[in-house]
Amino acid sequence: MDSIIFDLDGTLWDPIESVLDSWNTVIRGHDKAIDEVTRGQMEKTMGLQMDEIGRMLFPELESEERKGLLKDLSRHEIGYLSKKGGQLYPDVDEVLTELAKKYKLFIVSNCQHGYIEAFYEFHGLEAHFIDYENPGRTGLSKGENIKLIIERNHLKDPVYVGDTSGDQQAAKEAGVPFVYARYGFGEATDHEVAIDSFKELLHHY
C-alpha cells in the first residue's frame, strides 16, 4: 500500500452543527416560508452531492428556486466553516501526522468547491495532504474523482476510507479496497477493514 484517500464528512470530521447554523440563518431570511433543517435530516444527506441534497430537503421548491437557494446556502456555508470549523473526530491530527510518514494522503469528498479548502483553513491540516478532489471542481462522481486522484498522482496501491454505502460503492467503482469508518454517519456492508475510531487506522496501517 502506498497511499490513503479519505472521505471528509463522517470520516475526518462532523461538520453538522456548524452547517446547520449556517444554513438555517439563510433559510430564516428566505423570501419563501420553508422549514429549518434539523440534524436528523442533515445526517441523512451525508455523502450526497448538492443537487441530491436539495431535492431531499426542499422538495416544495421549483427547480430554479432550489438551485438559487442551494447557491446561497453553499456560499454562506463555506465562509462560515472557514471561520468556525467543524468537530474533528478524536486524534485526527495526531493520526494523520503518523500516517503521513508512511503513506501519501488525499481527500475525495462529494462536496462543493471551497468546502475542503474551508476544512483546511480552519483546522490547519492541509500539510498532511498531497491532493484533493470533489465534484464541485470536476463535475464527476466520487468514484471517478478517486480514479482522477490515482491517475494524477501515479498511485499504485491506495485504499479509500469512508463511512457510507456511497463511499463503499465509489471505492468499488475506482477498483480500490474500502475501509469502513463505523463511527461516521452511514452504513456499509462490504469492506476490507472496519474501524470504530480514527485512531484504529494505526493498528491496521
Block means of pLDDT (10 residues each) for the chain, 205 residues, are 97 95 91 86 85 90 90 92 95 98 97 94 96 95 97 98 96 98 94 97 96
Same domain, 49 and 104: no
Residues 182 and 116 in one domain: yes
Cα separation, 53 vs 110, whole angstroms: 11
pLDDT at 50: 83
Cα torsion 70, 57, 110, 125: sign: positive
Residue 179's domain comprises 3-14+88-204
**What's residue 21's pLDDT?**
95
Residue 160 grid coordinates? 479509500
Domain boundary among 28, 63, 84: 84
pLDDT of residue 49: 80
Domain match, 95 and 10 both: yes
Q: What is the pLDDT of residue 32?
A: 76
Q: Do 60 and 102 belong to one domain?
A: no
Same domain, 64 and 95: no
Nearest-5° angle of CA 106, CA 9, CA 57?
135
What are the residues facing 5 on neighbouring strands? 106, 160
Question: 167: domain CATH number?
Answer: 3.40.50.1000
Specify whether the CB–CB gap between 23 and 126 falls below 8 A.
no
Question: Is there a single domain that holds both residue 53 and residue 113?
Answer: no
Domain end (from 55, 84, 113): 84
Please check whether residues 108 and 160 belong to one and the same domain.
Answer: yes
CA-wise closest residue to 177 among 164, 193, 197: 193
Residue 130, C-alpha cell as written in the block: 498531497
Number of domains in the chain: 2
> What is residue 47's predicted lDDT score, i.e. its pLDDT?
75
Helices (H), the chain: 16-28, 39-44, 50-57, 63-84, 92-99, 115-123, 135-138, 142-152, 165-174, 201-204
Q: Which of 30, 64, 84 is the last residue of a domain?
A: 84
Dihedral through CA 182, CA 186, CA 191, CA 192, nearest 10?
-30
The whole model's pTM is what?
0.91
**HSE-up of residue 72 (Cα within 13 Å, Cβ side):** 15
Residues 115 and 69 grouped into a single domain? no
184 and 144 in a common domain: yes
48 and 148 both lie in a single domain? no
CATH code, 58: 1.10.150
